[in-house]
Structure 1
Amino acid sequence: MVEMTGLERALTYLRGEKPDKMPIWLESVYLAWQYSGTRSLKEYIYDPKAIALGHIRVAEKFRVDITGVNTDQWVMYEILGAEVEILDHVVQAKIPPWRYRPDRSVYDRFIEKVERIEKNLNEFDPRKCRRAKALFDAWKIVAEKIGKKVLLRQGILGPAATLALTIGMTEAMRDVMIFPDLLGTLTKMVRGPLMEWTVDVAYKMVEAVNFTNFCMGFSGYDRSLLNPELREWLAQIDLEYLNRVRDRIGKDVPITTHVCSWDPDLDFIYERFGKPKLINELQFYAPGSTYPLEKAVENFGDKIPLCAGIDHLGPLFTGTPEDVEVMVKRSIELGRKCISFALGPGCGLSPNTPEENLLKIAEVRDRYGRYG
C-alpha cells in the first residue's frame, strides 16, 4: 500500500475503513507553548504566529496524523462574559463571587445579554476578543502550512456547555436545584439564542480548518457527574445542536468526538449519537478510565471507529519508553479487532510529558500498527 499522508490516513479511518497504518492523534496546549520558543504564556496566548509554530512543531516532531490547535477551553466564551486568570504557567477560570453565595440575578443578567444575539449575532463574534482572534489567525496559519498533511481536529461544545463554561459548571449544576424555575428558563435560552450562537461559532471553526471535520465534545457525559434526568436533558439539547451543525457545515463533513472523562458514558453516547450515525468515531480515555479498552472493542469495535489506547496520565507521563511500547503494542492488538482504530490519549497532553515517551508512539505504530 502506498504511504498515505496523515490527513488521508485520518479521513480513511473516519470512514470506517483501514488506512495503510493506524493514525495517531496527539495534541497539547502546553507542549505547543514549550515548542513555540516563547517563554511567557502571557505573551504566547496573544501571538498567533507563536501558537501556530508550537503546534506545527509538535505535530511534525511526533509524527501525528490528527491534532488540534487550542490555548484553553474558555477562549471562545469571553465575548459572552467568561473570565479567566492568565498565570505564568496556566490559563484557568476565575472563581466567581457566586460560587460561595448563589445569586439568581447572575442568570438574569446573562439571559439579558444573550437575548441580544437574536437582534445582532455579529455583536457576539468571539473574534472581537483578542485571544480568540489570535486563535483564529493561528488556525489559518496551521491550515496553510500542514492542513493538507494532518487532520486539524477543531470544534466547540454544545450550548448547554457554553452556559456552564461562561457561568461556571459547578455553580450552574447547583443553582438549578436551588432555584426551582431556573432550569426551565435556562432551557428556553439554551435552545434559543445560545443555540444560534454556538452553531454559528461551530461553523466559523470548521471553516477555519477547511471543512475537514467538526469535533463534537461529549465531556459532560460522565456517569459519576450526571443523573439520568440531567443526562437526558443534555442529550436532547446536544442532538438538536449536532443536527443543526451538520445542516450548516454539510452532511459529508466527518464528525470527530472528544469524550474527556474519567467515567465515560460510552454506551449512552453510542446509543444516542453513534447508532444514528451522527458521529464518525468514539474517542475516549482508555486505558486509564473506568471503561476498559477491551470492553469498548467488544461493544463497539465492529460498529464505529474507535480512538483510544494511550494512557496520557499513566505510562505516557510517568513511565519509561519501554512501558509506552508495551501499552501501545497492546492497544494495537485490540485495535485490529475494530473496523478502524486510531491511537490517541483521553485528552490533551500534560506539560513535561517525556519527549522520549512521545517519540516511542509513532515508532511502535510503524512497527506493529500497519495494515495489509
Structure 2
Amino acid sequence: MKLTKLLTGAAVALGLAAGGALAQDKTKVGFVYVGPVGDGGWTYEHDQARKAVVEEFGDKVETVYVENVAEGPDAERVITQMALQGADLIFTTSFGYMDPTINVAKKFPDVKFEHATGYKRAENVSTYSARFYEGRAVQGTIAGHMTESNIVGYIGSYPIPEVIRGINSAYIHAKKVNPDVEFKIVWAFTWFDPAKEADAAKVLIEQGADVILQHTDSTAPQAAAQAAGNVVTFGQASDMAEYAPFPRVSSIIDDWAPYYIARTKAVMDGTWTSVDTWDGIGPGMVGIGEITDAVPAEVKAEALALKEAMASGEYHPFTGPLKKQDGSDFLAEGEIADDGTLAGMNFYVEGIEGSIPE
C-alpha cells in the first residue's frame, strides 16, 4: 500500500515536472498596443502580425496583448506587468512607448524588447520601423493628379519626424505632378480618436480639400469623406478596403508579420541581438494597397512605376534639388537625403505653408 502510494506520488511528481518543462519551453511574446485591435489601421495590422506568429509557431508560443495603452506612465506599468508575468519578448508598438520601454528593459535584462518607430536602443532593446514616406510618395503622386480644387488636406497625429517626413514626401510628389497644389495640415494630437479624426477631416473639407491623407489610425476620416461626397482618401497603415473603390482609392499597408516571426524565432533559438531595422517597399514592410479604378489608368501606371523604382532602389523620394520651407538649401541636384537627416526631420520643405507645432 505504502509502495503504491510512493509510486503514485513519484508519477505525479514526474508528470508535474514534465508539465513544467513543457510550459517553460513555450516562448511567451507580449504586445502593447496604443489603440484597439479593431481600429482598422495601425493596431489592427500589428495584431494581424501577432496572429501570424501564432500561426507560424503554434503551441511553441504563447502571445498576450494589451490594447488602448496610453503613452507615458501607464505604458510603463503595462510593460512591467508583462515582464513580471514571464514574457520572453515584448513588442511595444508606438513612438511614445520609447522611454517606458527603455526604463523597463533596465529592470529586466533577460527579457528582449522590440520598440516600434523609436530611436533609443539597449543591449536588450531593438528598434524597428517602416519607410512609410515611400508610400506617401505614391499617395502624393495620385493626390496631385486627382485634386480638382488643388487643395490636399493632411491629418497629422503628432509633429514627430516620422509624421513630418510623410507630409514632406507626399507634398514633394504631389507638387511634381501638379505645380498648383496646396497642402492644408490639421494636427489631431492623437493616434486614435475617431471623433477628433472625423472633425479634422470635416475642417479640411470645409477649407476646400477634395483629397485627404491621414497619419492617424481610425477609419473615421474615410467615413467623413464618404459622407461629403467627392473627396478622395487613402487607407492608413491598413487597407481600409471597406471604403474602396471610392473614396479610398489606395492605401499604405504595414506588414509586420515577417519581422515579428523572425524576431520571435531569434529569441527561440538564442540568436536575438539588438538591431535597428528600417525597411520599406523593397523588403515588403510597406505595401501599397490596390489602386482602384476610380484613379485614371495613366495615373495608376505612373504611381505603380514610382513604387517599382523605389522598391528596386532606383529612386529615393528625397532626391534634390530641394529646399527647406525657409528657402535655405536642403539637397543639391541629385543629392539623396541620408537616413540620419530623415530620422531627425523637423522642418517642412519649401512650399508647405504653416508652422510645425512645438
TM-score by length of 2: 0.26
TM-score by length of 1: 0.25
Give the helix-richer structure, 1 or 2.
1
Which structure has the bigger radius of gyration?
A: 2
Give the strand-richer structure, 1 or 2.
2
Q: Which structure has the higher relative contact order (CA within 8 Å, separation 6+)?
A: 1
